[in-house]
Amino acid sequence: MSTENVAVTTRIVPPGMRVGVTEEMIHDVVHTFYATIRTDPALGPIFKRVIGEDWDPHLAKMCDFWSSVLLMTGRFEGNPMAKHVAVGGIRPTHFARWLHLFRQTVEKLCPPPAAEMFVMRSEMIATALQRGIAMLAPQRPQAGAS
């Protein structure tokens, strides 16, 4: 009896694919979510100040971001930490509002396992961004400090 070397290839299944996330779903989530953001009294003005009127590049970048995060496509190029630090004035309440609206959007548009994956990843990202902002953002002197 002869033994043959059999090459076993393992294919890594992206986390989003395991729960049914598709490129179309990502597109719908991103576009619906940011339509909500634009009209939000707390977040809309911040995004308008940073993005201006032409949202198409931002929406495309966010689709690439979520595709890379959930489907491991590697399409996203950028530095989210540097972008968020540069905005200035982002507080924990802004992140809480962003997460709340994001959760509402994915729960409305996605099947529960996919929504849960989006939410879980968004919470991890928000935590990392908040920590980075706290460490990297220029600190304003507090009143009364010399």
Contacts of 90 (CB under 8 A, 6+ apart): 46, 84, 133
Q: Is residue 139 over pLDDT 70?
A: no
The pTM of the full predicted model, rounded to 2 decimals, is 0.84
Whether the predicted pLDDT of 125 surpasses 50: yes
Sign of the Cα pseudo-torsion (102, 57, 74, 91, in order): negative
| Number of separate helices (H) and strands (E) present in the chain | 7, 0
- If pLDDT is split at 50, 70 and 90, which confidence band does 61 have? very high
Identity at 57, one-letter amino acid code: P
Nearest to 134 by CA among 65, 79, 80, 84: 84
More confident site: 7 or 15 = 15
Taking the chain, what is the end-to-end CA distance rounded to the nearest angstrom?
84
Query: Beta-carbon neighbour count of residue 109 at 10 Å?
Result: 15
Q: Per-residue pLDDT for 142 more than 60?
A: no
Count Cβ atoms below 10 Å from residue 130 Cβ, excluding itself. 17
80-100 pLDDT, tens per residue? 999 998 888 899 999 999 999
Domains belonging to the chain, first-starting first, are 15-136 (1.10.490.10)
